[in-house]
Structures are given as C-alpha cells and as structure tokens.
Amino acid sequence: MQAAPRRDTPAWKTQVWISFGAAALLCGSGLAWLPVTPIERAFMVMAYVFCLCAAFVLAKSVRDRAAGLPEAPGWRLVAWGGLATAMGLTGWGLSVLAIPPAHGAFLLVAWLFLMSSAFTLAKTLRDAQEAECLS
C-alpha cells in the first residue's frame, strides 16, 4: 500500500509566493532607480533575469537527476555553468558600476533574496506537481 503524497500547506505556498513576489519587486525597484546609464541598467536587468532563469533550470536539473531521469550529455555542465556565469556576471556588474554603496548593498541583498526565493519556489512547485502525479 502506497502512502499518500505529502503536500505543502496553503500557508507555506502563500509564504513562498509572497517571498518571491517581494524579492522580484525589490529587485525591480532597485534596478529601475539605479543611477547609471540606460545601457548599464539594461545590462543589470538582463543579469538579474539570467540569474532567475538559471536558478529554475538548475533546480529542475538537480531534481530530475535525483529522480533518476535521463539527461542529455553535457546538460549538467549547461545547468551549473549557466548559474555560475549568471551569478558571476551579476556580481561583476554590481562591483564595477559606479553607484552609491547603499544602493549597491540594496541590490546585492535583493539579488540574493531573489535567488533564494526562486529555488524555494521551484522546489515548492515541483513538490506540488509530484504530489499531484501520485494522487
């Protein structure tokens, strides 16, 4: 007899979505008021979006591997390399832009909050999908 799938509580799901939304809002507002040229702002927006997408790709890749699902040759390198590249470029951008230290610190903390909440959201969504498949 198979045990019923464990599901996240509605309170947890709400907290995860609120956390992700708050992180995205904080990053967006920090980038919108970034005191740099438009091309520098565009670079930083692309870097944050790259990090966000890479986080979801890596979360799925790690979860698929843990589940024993097959992967294309080199996929692990793409997933981990994408996140490393995104994080490196974003960190580099924050370190070389001529912005006030307080603004840089805000963007750094918001970026780390975004990454953490993205991985948590990816896990929560995948857990819900797996529980639905087992039902």
Would you say the C-alpha torsion 14, 16, 19, 22 has a positive or negative sign?
Answer: negative
Residue ranges with strand state E in 1-135: none
Encoded tokens for 42: 């565009």
Q: Work out the number of other CB atoms within 10 angstroms of the CB of residue 133.
A: 8
Structure confidence at residue 6 (pLDDT) = 75
The overall average pLDDT reported for the chain is 92
Structure confidence at residue 18 (pLDDT) = 97
Residues of the chain with pLDDT below 50 are none
Q: What is the pTM of this model?
A: 0.87
Residues 124/34, Cβ–Cβ less than 8 Å? no
Structure confidence at residue 67 (pLDDT) = 85
